[in-house]
Homo-oligomer: A and B are copies of this chain.
């Protein structure tokens, strides 16, 4: 029967010798053989046990709990809970990534970050976003998912869309009416982008703007103030009406 020393196990399983000694000390993994000279020798079974420990540890389970669990759980049970854990982490990671992308875009697009905006964005992504899409029908979803700028994207449309929002904010700040030339210009560009996005489906477009008006905590969309939304409505009404 094969036996391994601490050093060999250490190299093989990428844990420190100290760790092995520690595990022995706290009675988590005691090597099957211990000779008079005090040396530790690990059996194949021990290695499996170590592997179990490593997996359970990766679930951020404290060693004390692992010790209690080790003999009660089968390898399969452990693997399955590990798998579930990984899946959880995966979805967390994915929202984290979109979130980070959004922030990067925000830094790019806004000259000065306001805490309010950033914190809104962070908050939204903390309670699992992506809810806005639930307001739509299956077939509508397909189109939207691909085309709606969600700030996590780096595409041109997103940038255009956001720079338009910035321009609107600027207009509001400088008291330039939606009925002015600038407002007209903005409306035209908005319509162009929208046509692009919704591929001429005006009904869907209207519905989208309805959803837009809901609070962003609910929809998980990039937060747009009431003022801006009103401006959009008015300048578009001015053009199309």
A interface with B by C-beta (< 8 Å): 12, 14, 44, 47-48, 51, 75-76, 79-80, 82-83, 86-87, 89-90, 93-94, 96-97, 100-101, 103-104, 107-108, 113-115, 118-119, 122, 126-127
In the complex, the answer to whether A100 meets B79 with C-beta atoms within 8 Å is yes
Alpha-carbon distance A103/B52, docked complex (angstroms): 12
Q: Hey, which chain B residues are within 8 Å of A107, CB to CB? A: 75-76, 79
Q: Which of A100, A101, A118 has the most CB of B within 10 A?
A: A100
- Which 6 residue pairs spanning A and B have beta carbons closest together? A44-B115, A76-B107, A83-B100, A79-B104, A86-B97, A90-B93
Contact residues in B for A89 (Cβ distance below 8 Å):
93
B48 x A113 contact (CB < 8 A): yes
What number of copies of this chain does the assembly contain? 2
Instruction: Check A104 against B83 for contact (C-beta < 8 Å).
Output: yes
Given the interface contacts A47-B119, A113-B75, does A86 sit within 8 Å of B82 by beta carbon?
Answer: no
Docked Cα-Cα span, A119 to B50, in Å, equals 11
Give A73 Cβ to nearest chain B Cβ, in Å: 12
> Is there an interface contact between B97 and A51, defined as CB atoms closer than 8 Å?
no
Smallest CB–CB gap between A224 and chain B, Å? 21
**Can you list 8 A-B contacts with CB-CB less than 8 angstroms, sorted by A residue number?**
A76-B107, A79-B104, A79-B107, A80-B104, A83-B104, A86-B93, A86-B96, A93-B93
Flag if A97 contacts B103 (CB, 8 Å).
no
**Nearest Cβ on chain B to A99's Cβ, whole angstroms:** 9
Could you tell me the distance in whole angstroms from the C-beta of A105 to the nearest C-beta in chain B? 10
